[in-house]
Amino acid sequence: MTRYLARSVTDDSDDTIRLFCFPYAGGGASAYGRWQRTLDAHGAGVHVLPVQLPGREGRMDEPRFTDLWALVADMDEQLDAELERPHIFYGHSMGALLAYALAWRRQQRGANMPLAVALSAYRAPHLPAPKIADPDASDEELIDSLAALGGIPEVLLKHPDFLTALLPVARDDLMLCTGYAAAHDTEPLRVPLHLYAGRRDRLVSVSEVLSWRRHAGRGCEVRTMPGGHFFVRAHEGEFLQELAGLTRLYGSRVPVAA
């Protein structure tokens, strides 16, 4: 099994959609650790597959990528076999950019595509990357910025070891987000886009999420959610109810194996 997947993919049935979840900046696969149980309770009919990037959690021994397209190329190669079955991409914040860029690359090379791409809390890629902090921000300034957005639970702010491990990952990920080149905007995705925006998000406005429409070649649905940038954490139950409705919709279109 590829190290990009934190869970086994051998136990899903032929008619189960795979939901590949890409992490936000500084985050890892554990951000989606509770989703399977909740989505099962909603009858979502999906196998949640959190994507584990190098240099964090179970892959701490590996170097992190700071070049977006190098990471996307590696994911494309390593996940290719797992993307032959019906699947959906989901990404939050930086994860939205990763999900979109991977789908775009696969479209360009004629590979199997997701049934849909769901993106939350990120600007369309033809806009400048959201600015969480200055590149030369001190550790204290970066922590304050992440905490203000809800990216660091308050209880963890009192744990220096956690912050020491988080900051290098967050800095590299912020560099990763600046690596999208506008030259890749020449062709919209030929799959539906489903967009989610926090109504009180101070980093990415609803209008900036709406700007993804120019990249949608097969339709675009936009929903607003209560909360700020990390509404997927603060209002997880409500968001997963929305996501379950989406996966049921596409699940109904997947032929059942004989």
Q: 71 and 98 in contact (C-beta within 8 Å)?
A: yes
Q: Indicate if the alpha-carbon torsion angle 219, 42, 242, 177 is positive or negative.
A: negative
- Kindly report the three-state secondary structure assignment for every residue of 76-88: HHHHHHHHCCCEE
How deeply is 97 buried, as exposed, middle or buried, from its count of CB atoms within 10 A (0-12, 13-18, 19+)?
buried
What is the rounded distance in angstroms from the CA atom of residue 154 to the CA atom of residue 86? 38
Question: How far apart, in whole angstroms, are the C-alpha atoms of residue 36 and residue 20?
Answer: 12
Q: How many CA atoms lie within 13 A of 253 on its CB side?
A: 10
Are 29 and 57 in contact by the 8 Å Cβ rule? The answer is: yes
Q: If you search the block for the tokens 């990528």, which residue do you land on?
A: 65
210/178 Cα distance (integer angstroms):
20
Question: Scanning the structure block, which residue is given the tokens 């997701």?
Answer: 114
**93 is an active site residue:** yes
From the candidates 8, 13, 30, 93, which is the catalytic residue? 93
What is the set of active-site residues? 93
